[in-house]
C-alpha cells in the first residue's frame, strides 16, 4: 500500500482514543401510514417538484403510456425489450397505429451514444420501489434497463407500483435489506432535473430529463 496511506492512517492512529464512538440507535422510526396515506403523500410530494403523476391500474397503464406518448408528440420512445414492462408495451404498440416509434438497442450504450444523446425523445423504465415521505422513486438499473435510460432522454416515464411504496428511505433500506449487496448504481429520483443556480430561481430541465412522468399503479 502507498506511503501516503500509511502516513495518513498513522496520524489518525496517533491521536489515541480520547473520543469514544457514539452509541447510535439505528432502528428507523417509521410513521404510521396506511396504503392510502402513502399514495397520497407520494403523489403530493412528487407533484410539488413538478412530476406528472398519473394513477393507473395494472391493466391499463400501457394504454395510458400510449396516450401520453401521443399527446406529447414524442417521435420515439426508448424501452427495454428484456425488461419487466416490455411485453405489455409491445402488445399495446401492436394494437395501435400511429404511436411513436419504439426504440431499443440491445448493445452497450457506447455503441449508440450519439443517437441516445441527440435523437431519443423519451424513455420508459420500471422502478424498484418508491418513498412516500419525500416523494422519490428508487431505481436499481439493470443490464436490461441501463442507468442512462432515466438520465439522458428529455422525457423519462417511470412505472411505479403503489404496493412498493415505503414510508421512508430508511424503511426501504431496511425492508429491502440493501446492506446484503448494493448494486453498481442505486438511484433516488424526485422530479425532473432542475437548478436554482441563477438567482435562486428554479429552472427545470438542466442536464437530466426535462419532464418526469410517473404512472402509479394503484
Partner 1 sequence: MQQKAEFDQRVQKALNNPQLRRNFRIAMDGLMEKRSNAFPDKVALEALRVTGANIRANALAKQLELLEQLEANCTRNGIQVHWAETIEQANRIVLDIMQRHNASRMIKGKSMVSEEMELNHFLEAQGNSCIESDLGEYIIQLDHETPSHIIAPAIHKSKQEIARLFKEKHPDIPYSEDIETMTRSARKVLRSKFYEAEVGLSGVNFAVAETGTLCLVENEGNGRMCTTVPPVHIAVTGIEKVVEKLADVPPLLKLLTGSAAGQHISTYFNMISSPRKPGERDGPTEVHLVLLDNQRSRIYADEELFDSLRCIRCGACMNHCPVYTRIGGHAYGSLIPGPIGSVIEPQKFGLENFGVLPTASTLCGACGEVCPVKIPLPKLLHRLRYEQVRSDHTGATIGQGSQRSAKEALIWKLWSWAHANPAVYRGGTRLAGLFRGIIPNKIGPWTRVRTAPKIAPKSLHQLAREEGFDNE
Q: Is 82 in the site for partner 1 (CB under 8 A)?
A: no
The interface mask with partner 1, positions 114-133, x = CB under 8 A, is: x--xx------------x-x
Taking the complex as a whole, how short is the minimal distance between the CB of residue 202 and partner 1, in angstroms?
9
Rounded to whole angstroms, the Cα distance separating 58 from 126 reads: 13
Given 63, 90, 147, 218, the residue binding partner 1 (CB under 8 A): 147
Which lies closer to partner 1 via its Cβ, residue 63 or residue 112?
A: 112
Interaction residues for partner 1, span 6-25 (CB under 8 A): 7-9, 11-15, 18-22, 24
With CA atoms as reference, report the closest residue to 213 among 186, 187, 195, 191.
191
Which lies closer to partner 1 via its Cβ, residue 9 or residue 95?
A: 9
Cell numbers linked to 54: 398519473
Paired with 204 in beta bridges are 194
Q: Is 33 in the site for partner 1 (CB under 8 A)?
A: no
Taking the complex as a whole, how short is the minimal distance between the CB of residue 57 and partner 1, in angstroms?
27
Q: Is 31 in the site for partner 1 (CB under 8 A)?
A: no
With CA atoms as reference, report the closest residue to 188 among 33, 39, 42, 24.
42
Q: Is 108 in the site for partner 1 (CB under 8 A)?
A: yes
Taking the complex as a whole, how short is the minimal distance between the CB of residue 96 and partner 1, in angstroms?
28
Rounded to whole angstroms, the Cα distance separating 39 from 218 reads: 8
Phi (first) and psi of residue 123, to 5 degrees: -135, 145
Which lies closer to partner 1 via its Cβ, residue 18 or residue 98?
A: 18
Interaction residues for partner 1, span 38-77 (CB under 8 A): 45, 49
Q: Is 32 in the site for partner 1 (CB under 8 A)?
A: no
Contact between residue 169 and residue 131 where contact means Cβ atoms under 8 Å apart: yes
With CA atoms as reference, report the closest residue to 154 among 114, 119, 186, 189.
119
Which lies closer to partner 1 via its Cβ, residue 42 or residue 61?
A: 42
Contact between residue 205 and residue 182 where contact means Cβ atoms under 8 Å apart: no
Interaction residues for partner 1, span 187-206 (CB under 8 A): 187-201, 203-206
Which lies closer to partner 1 via its Cβ, residue 74 or residue 189?
A: 189
Q: Is 163 in the site for partner 1 (CB under 8 A)?
A: no
Q: Is 34 in the site for partner 1 (CB under 8 A)?
A: no
Taken as a whole, the chain contains a residue count of 218
Q: Which residues of 139-152 are buried (b: 16+ CB within 10 A; e: fewer)?
A: bbbbebbbbbbbbb
61-71 helix and 86-95 helix, angle to the nearest 10 degrees: 60
Amino acid at each position: 500500500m502507498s506511503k501516503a496511506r500509511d502516513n495518513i492512517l498513522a496520524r489518525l492512529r496517533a491521536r489515541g482514543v480520547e473520543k469514544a464512538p457514539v452509541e447510535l440507535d439505528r432502528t428507523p422510526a417509521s410513521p404510521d401510514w396506511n396504503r392510502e396515506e402513502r399514495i397520497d403523500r407520494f403523489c403530493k410530494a412528487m407533484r410539488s417538484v413538478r412530476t406528472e403523476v398519473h394513477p393507473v391500474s395494472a391493466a391499463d397503464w400501457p394504454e395510458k403510456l400510449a396516450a401520453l406518448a401521443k399527446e406529447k408528440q414524442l417521435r420515439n420512445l426508448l424501452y427495454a425489450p428484456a425488461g419487466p414492462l416490455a411485453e405489455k408495451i409491445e402488445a399495446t404498440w401492436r394494437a395501435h397505429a400511429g404511436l411513436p416509434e419504439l426504440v431499443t438497442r440491445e448493445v452497450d450504450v457506447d455503441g449508440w451514444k450519439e443517437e441516445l444523446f441527440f435523437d431519443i425523445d423519451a424513455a420508459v423504465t420500471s422502478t424498484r420501489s418508491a418513498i412516500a415521505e419525500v416523494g422519490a422513486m428508487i431505481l436499481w438499473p439493470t443490464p436490461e434497463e441501463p442507468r442512462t435510460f432515466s438520465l439522458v432522454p428529455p422525457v423519462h416515464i417511470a412505472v411505479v407500483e403503489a404496493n412498493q411504496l415505503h414510508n421512508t428511505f430508511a424503511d426501504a433500506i431496511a425492508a429491502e435489506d440493501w446492506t446484503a449487496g448494493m448494486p453498481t448504481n442505486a438511484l433516488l429520483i424526485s422530479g425532473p432535473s432542475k437548478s436554482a443556480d441563477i438567482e435562486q430561481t428554479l429552472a427545470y430541465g438542466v442536464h437530466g430529463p426535462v419532464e418526469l412522468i410517473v404512472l402509479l399503479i394503484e
